[in-house]
Amino acid sequence: MTPVQILFILVAAVTLGAALMVVNARNLVHAALWLIVSFGGVAVFYAMLNAGFLAVAQVVIYIGAIAILMIFAIMMTRNVAGDSSPRFNSSQIIGLVLALALFAGLVWMTLSWSGATTTPMPLDSRADPISQLGSALVSPDGYVLAFELASILLLGALVGALMIAWDRK
């Protein structure tokens, strides 16, 4: 095994283990902290794929903003940290089957896609990938529509969230 493969297996184990702890932790804040470990593992994957921009964006957005938002949301609730109710209920078998079916479906879909088995063309190593990304985001034959729509979508998210959370009588 190459060092990269060993590193990949280690990081994957940490990421999956942390994700398991998220659903397994009895304390909500602990669950949020484990989720952050899991997010960090995903960022390491991006960095290992040389996708530096995605790696830092993952940390900035998921750890820096979404995790903080989650912890604030947990703190707004009234003492549910020490949840002592049983962790399994009668529908655990159905849940397990559904989860396995979903996972199998995803694996099947990925394998049936031609991009999953062919090696993509390497990027032009002389040009800065971030500069290429930047010009693709705003070029009319690139992703300009998606770029502007993302802005509208976020505006919609802001308005909607304020409507729900900030209901002043």
Partner 1 sequence: MQTEQWLYIGVFLVLAPLLPAAAILIPRLIAPRKPNKIKQDTYECGMETVGETWIQFRVQYYIFALVFLIFDVELVFLYPWAVAFDVLPMFAVLEGVLFVAILIAGLVYAWRKGALEWR
Partner 2 sequence: MSDPVTIIANWLEGLLLGWGLSPLLATIILNAIGILVMAALLLVLDIFLVWVERKVVARFQDRLGPNRLGPYGLIQPIADVIKLLIKEDITPRGADRLVYNLAPILTLATVLLLWAVIPIMPNVVGTDLNVGILYLVAVGAIATLAIIMAGWSSNNKYALLGAFRTVAQMISYEVPMVIALLIPVLLARSMGVSDIVYSQEVWYILVAPAAALIFLISSIAEIGRAPFDLVEAESEIVAGFHIEYTGMKFGLFYAGELLHALTIGALFAALFLGGWSGPGVQAVPVLGVFYLLIKAFFIYWVIMWIKYSLPRIRIDHMLNFNWKFLTPLALVLLLATAIADKALEGSTTVVYILVMLGLNIVLVLGALALARGYASKERQRVGEPKPVARPPQPTVIEQS
Give the angle 125-130-134 at the CA atoms, nearest 5°.
130
Contact call for residue 56 and partner 2 (CB under 8 A): yes
Q: What is the DSSP string of 120-137?
A: PPPP-SSS-HHHHHHHHH
33: partner contacted, choices partner 2, partner 1, none (Cβ within 5-8 A by kind): partner 2
CB of 146 to partner 2, least distance (A): 20
Contact call for residue 75 and partner 2 (CB under 8 A): yes
DSSP code, position 27:
S
The residue from 2, 72, 84, 119 that contacts partner 1 (CB under 8 A) is: 72
Contact call for residue 135 and partner 1 (CB under 8 A): yes
| Rounded Cα distance, 109 and 103, in Å | 10
| Rounded Cα distance, 28 and 34, in Å | 10
Given the rule CB under 8 A, which residues bind partner 2?
A: 3, 29, 33, 36, 52-53, 55-57, 59-60, 63-65, 67-68, 71-72, 75, 128-131
